[in-house]
Amino acid sequence: MPGGRQRRDTLKEIMAANLRRIRHDRDLTQEGLADLSGLSARYIGAIERANVSASITVLGKLAESLGVDPCELIRPLTKARRRS
């Protein structure tokens, strides 16, 4: 990047990566998460691709369906957490 600054992931990108990682950790498909959350699989896919921004209500539904605190979906990954 210009000026030697590192690129920071946007909140959408952070949530996308965390949602995908946690969903995979729980062996859930997008369809399975859709069934649990009451959202469409297509919408979940769009969130995971960072094509859309999820509302706070959707964040809560996804977190509850995955059994995590909502902050886990928007917390940037550290290098240590990426490896685990």
Cα–Cα dist 15/5, whole Å = 22
What local confidence, expressed as pLDDT, does residue 3 receive? 52
Cα–Cα dist 38/32, whole Å = 10
Domain residue spans in the chain? 20-76
| pTM for the whole structure | 0.83
Q: Which residues of the chain have pLDDT under 70?
A: 1-8, 79-84
What local confidence, expressed as pLDDT, does residue 77 receive? 80
CATH of 20-76, one of 3.30.70.1230, 1.10.260.40, 3.40.50.150, 2.40.30.10: 1.10.260.40
Nearest to 53, CA basis, from 11, 23, 21: 11
In the chain, DSSP finds a helix count (H) and a strand count (E) of 6, 0
What local confidence, expressed as pLDDT, does residue 52 receive? 96
